[in-house]
Amino acid sequence: MATQNVAAARALDLEPRTLRLPGITWALIGPAVALLLIFYIWPLVQVLLISVTEVDDRAAGMALGNYGLLFVDEGVQRMLWRTAQICVTTTVLTLIGGYIIAYAMVHVTGRQRSFLMFAVLLSFWLSVLIRAFAWIVLLNNNGLAYEAINLFWQPLRDTGIVQGRLQLARTEAGVIIGMVHYMLPYAVLPLFANMQGIDQRVMMAARGLGASPFGAFRRVYLPLSAPGLLGATVLVFVFSLGFFITPSLMGGGKVVMISEYIWFSMEQTLRWGLATMLATTLLIAVMALIALMSRFVDMKQMYGAK
């Protein structure tokens, strides 16, 4: 094919390299870029502009306008801090679970791997709403998961180590369970891709040279899987920041994360200045995180652009 194209180009008296001129490249991707600019970037900019043009009552007279609220409004600070805490917890738990699943997937037989992959993908494809409702049913008082966990809780309660009735649904614990479950495939898939590329013989070599099983894992396998681990961290953390449905449905009204706060300020209190300021802050934070991570991980490889 390639030679035919070259021949065709020669026939038209075009050198192949002229096709690679920047001008032509831009002309070819131009429509895509224009579409993005008009339908995605421009509306986004318009929304974000509100954060500087519409000053919130509470921010009136502040040097940084609405952005000053980040430094003085305790309600906003507590909400952001809570969001960060929940996202860190979710990320850590998801990575632990995801690492174990991905590790198992690499090391089992083909048929077992297909089964595990199917299980991961099945939950990946389910809507977040369905999963949240399913967890509510499971975690409700008398729900299946509730009963199972209560088997351990009740004896502790009887001996007085813990107090109060076990409450899972409509608590922060419920939110984290729901979020970890949602995020697991996002951790498993990059980790699995990374681990598949690790040559298993290096472990044998390490063992052959006298390393203990755990030593070999810690000093050889873990560093080799670090890029996958870092990639999964960014992916999971960034996605967690934007959670809305799960905390809102499973938090008993008491877990309010940044997305819900933005929604609330847009729709309920008409504080658009505040809402767009928070949206801008979230966007900048996410981009900064990705920029920081790209120094350590090959992002192009992670997202399949290479």
Positions that interact with other proteins (CB under 8 A): 74-75, 78-79, 82, 136, 140-142, 167, 169-170, 248-249, 252-256, 261, 264-272
Q: How far apart are CA 31 and CA 90, in angstroms?
A: 39
As measured in angstroms, the least distance from the Cβ of 75 to other proteins is 3
Q: List helix spans (H) across the chain.
A: 2-11, 22-36, 42-53, 69-72, 74-107, 110-125, 128-139, 144-158, 172-196, 201-208, 213-216, 222-241, 245-250, 258-263, 272-294, 299-302
- The answer to whether the beta carbons of residues 190 and 302 sit under 8 Å apart is yes
As measured in angstroms, the least distance from the Cβ of 140 to other proteins is 5
Question: Comparing C-alpha atoms, which of 183, 193, 202, 203 is closest to residue 298?
Answer: 193
Q: Which is nearer to other proteins, 165 or 201 (CB)?
A: 165
- The answer to whether the beta carbons of residues 229 and 193 sit under 8 Å apart is no
Q: Spell 153-176 as b/e; 16+ CB within 10 A means b.
A: beeeeeeeeeeeebebbbbbbbbb
As measured in angstroms, the least distance from the Cβ of 261 to other proteins is 8
Q: What are phi and psi of 166, to 5 degrees?
A: -65, 130
Q: Which is nearer to other proteins, 136 or 285 (CB)?
A: 136
Two tokens at 237? 């953390």
Q: How far apart are CA 121 and CA 119, in angstroms?
A: 6
Question: Comparing C-alpha atoms, which of 194, 188, 217 is closest to residue 297?
Answer: 194
Two tokens at 229? 């681990």
Read off the amino acid at residue 22.
P
- The CB-based long-range contact list for 124-127 (8 Å cut-off, 24+ gap) reads 124/185, 124/189
As measured in angstroms, the least distance from the Cβ of 161 to other proteins is 20
Q: Which is nearer to other proteins, 141 or 212 (CB)?
A: 141
Q: Which is nearer to other proteins, 45 or 270 (CB)?
A: 270
As measured in angstroms, the least distance from the Cβ of 88 to other proteins is 17
Q: Which is nearer to other proteins, 62 or 220 (CB)?
A: 62
As measured in angstroms, the least distance from the Cβ of 85 to other proteins is 12
- The answer to whether the beta carbons of residues 250 and 168 sit under 8 Å apart is no
Q: Which is nearer to other proteins, 271 or 293 (CB)?
A: 271
